[in-house]
Structure 1
Amino acid sequence: MNEIRFLDGARTRAALDPRRVLEAVERALIRVSRDEVSAPPRIAARTPNGLLGAMPGHVPGIGLAAKLVSVFADPERPGRSSHRGLVVLFDPEDGRPLALMDAEPLTEIRTAASATLGARALARAGGGPVAVVGTGAQARAQLALLAALAPGTPVRVAGRDAGRAASAAALHPAGRPAPGIEEAVRGAGTVFCCTGAARPVIDRAWLAPGTHVSSVGGSDGPEVDAATVRDAALFAEWAGAAATAPPSGAHELQDLPAGRSVTLLGAVLAGEVPGRRREDELTLFKSTGHAALDVAAAQAAHAVAVARDWGTRVAL
């Protein structure tokens, strides 16, 4: 009889130790850049109101997992969407299902981890305060991770709702709400775009020389404006971010002009290729999500759950 460990939302969130997840995601990104990961492009079944995506993946030395996630418009919050789903972790040796966990907190932290690793690798040292654009679940996950890793770094938070911006900013010890997105972005050394926008939320004219942008939103359209994409050195988790159409690829990286290249972040993290080339260079890490990151976060959470004997064991 096989047993699977079930972690509800609270236990999944508690098992996702930020530093453990960050280290696992970094290893996964390096594996992706070396083409050592088995993960087909994300597929999705669409309905009039949303989509159901499937993301299986195997990362050597880390694990085997699959995620089912729905992305649907939230009728109670126009312009916002919900992300709900499940992640199943399997034994890579014999295929036994090991754990079932909530995809929502897992997706939030692995996405924040990739954006943070992008900023660590590409932003200028001492480049100025951080701006977080967005006030929803992903922005809050980004702020929580920044609070755990760099609680003294000044952070400006902006979104469409001033009250939500203030409550999100409170998640970081040095967080402050900004009057608007432009005010948050101008003068920032690093900008995290964490929205569900279908149109650009930043403008190239707001970005100072040498700014780094980590963009993780834009499932339904470009989150970053075309001028920023045009002027920036481009980085992504995987080559398919530019080579495949949405939802697996990034809206911003479609139909790049001849000669434009996208560097894989994992290759920069591994020290195999350079990241930032000049102090005044604009850099953009565009995240689309990747199954390898779900595998990494799921394995990290499972290790904590096993060590602490968390979760309900269910016989299959």
Structure 2
Amino acid sequence: MLIVPEALIAGLVTAEDAFGAIEACFAAMARDEAYNFPVIREALGEGRQYGFKSGLDRAGGVMGVKAGGYFPGNAAKGMINHQSSVFLFNPETGRPTAMVGGNLLTALRTAAASAISIDRLARKDAKVLGMVGAGHQAQFQLRAAAKVREFEKVIAWNYHPDMLPKLGEVTAELGLPFEAVPLDRMVEADVIVTITSSPAASLMSAHVSPGTHLACMGTDTIGKQEVEPALLARARVFTDEVAQSVTIGEAQHAVAAGLIRAEDITPIGAVIAGLAEGRQSDDQITLFDGTGVGLQDLAVASTAVRLAEERGLAIKVEV
């Protein structure tokens, strides 16, 4: 078995690597060459969550599981709140093949999924990027979004405004102007990325203009919610996996309210594979419900293992 520790990931996997791996993963799902197993999530109290996401990619010859969760007290201890590890297995024999640090990979694969949705669904002339959320993953989201559209400005809102200067630093690195705004100013955005861990909606339908693309990336558990359900009723909704979208994703609330049905949601992989249409008009609102599927984690972990092997950095142990 090979071990690729967390400390090596930053020097191995780039945002471009993650983008390619996740795009191929979504397309394989749409072609029924890969599928996710049921998600197991457990609330541990005090905001802590732990669980398992797993799946099998027949095309890539990969089977595995990501174990981890969200621990909001970690920041005070000098650690990021999201903690995870990915374990890969030979799908023919069940033997373990690799253990990979999953913290940075989670941020990279989440940002890649969002960027893929922007690349495939946002208007080509999108100029203003709106960010709702300013936590650890928001910086990855911002950088990834800036790679697929030539934005001219970034506006942002966060429940804790004191965290917004971090995003301002990133936009300065990208050479873009930045402005902290109230939520009602999100009507100015052509693309909005939501990346919060909120239990209640913050972005309302009235905050979103026609023609906007939204990448809603924070809701991955029953009870979480970033946007008003009425917004999904206005939008053409896409997702990584429909089953997760309607049970633990942003769509859970709109479906429960009877505003949309599972049949109304299109897998983004179908757009990538040419099996479904993407944006249909310039004034259409498109919304990507990024729930985060296990196959995404396996895809980027497999990429990390391959690169580590090529560079002689993977640690080999007998099991």
Give, in whole Å, the separation in 1 of the partners of 2:139 and 2:234. 28
Q: Which residue of 2 aligns with 1:14?
A: 11
Shift of 1:162: 3.6
Q: Which residue of 2 aligns with 1:201?
A: 202
Of 261, 264, 274, 2:264 maps to 261
- Give the share of equivalent positions with the same residue, in percent: 24
Q: Which residue of 2 aligns with 1:111?
A: 110
Give, in whole Å, the separation in 2 of the partners of 1:166 and 1:249. 27
Q: Which residue of 1 aligns with 2:192?
A: 191
Write the deviation string for residues 50-90 of structure 1: whole angstroms up to 9, x where unpaired. 2221111111222222100122332867xxx9221210122
Give, in whole Å, the separation in 2 of the partners of 1:48 and 1:310. 38
Shift of 1:251: 3.4
Shift of 1:161: 3.5
Q: Which residue of 2 aligns with 1:223?
A: 226
Shift of 1:91: 3.0
Q: Are 2:277 and 1:277 aligned? A: no
Q: TM-score under structure 1 normalisation?
A: 0.88
Q: Which residue of 2 aligns with 1:212?
A: 213
Give, in whole Å, the separation in 2 of the partners of 1:21 and 1:39. 18
Give, in whole Å, the separation in 2 of the partners of 1:64 and 1:23. 19
Q: Are 2:157 and 1:154 aligned? A: no
Change (3 A) 1:120 1:76: closer
Give, in whole Å, the separation in 2 of the partners of 1:304 and 1:36. 23
Equivalenced residues, count: 308
Write the deviation string for residues 170-220 of structure 1: whole angstroms up to 9, x where unpaired. 224134442324266231111110111111121222212100000011344
Q: Which residue of 2 aligns with 1:41?
A: 38
Taking the TM superposition and a 5 Å limit, the aligned residue runs for 1:1-316 are: 4-49=1-46, 50-62=48-60, 63-74=62-73, 82-147=81-146, 153-172=152-171, 173-182=174-183, 185-218=186-219, 219=221, 220-243=223-246, 245-246=247-248, 250-255=251-256, 256-257=258-259, 261-316=264-319
Structure 2: 5+ residue stretches without partners: none
Worse-superposed segment, 102-111 or 83-92: 83-92
Give, in whole Å, the separation in 2 of the partners of 1:157 and 1:310. 39
Counterpart of 2:287 in structure 1: which amino acid? L
Q: Secondary structure at the match of 2:292?
A: coil
Q: Contact conserved, 2:64 with 2:87, CA < 8 A, in 1?
A: yes
Change (3 A) 1:206 1:55: same
Q: RMSD value over aligned CA atoms?
A: 2.4
Structure 1: 5+ residue stretches without partners: none
Counterpart of 1:70 in structure 2: which amino acid? G
State the 4+ residue runs in structure 1 displaced beyond 6 angstroms. none
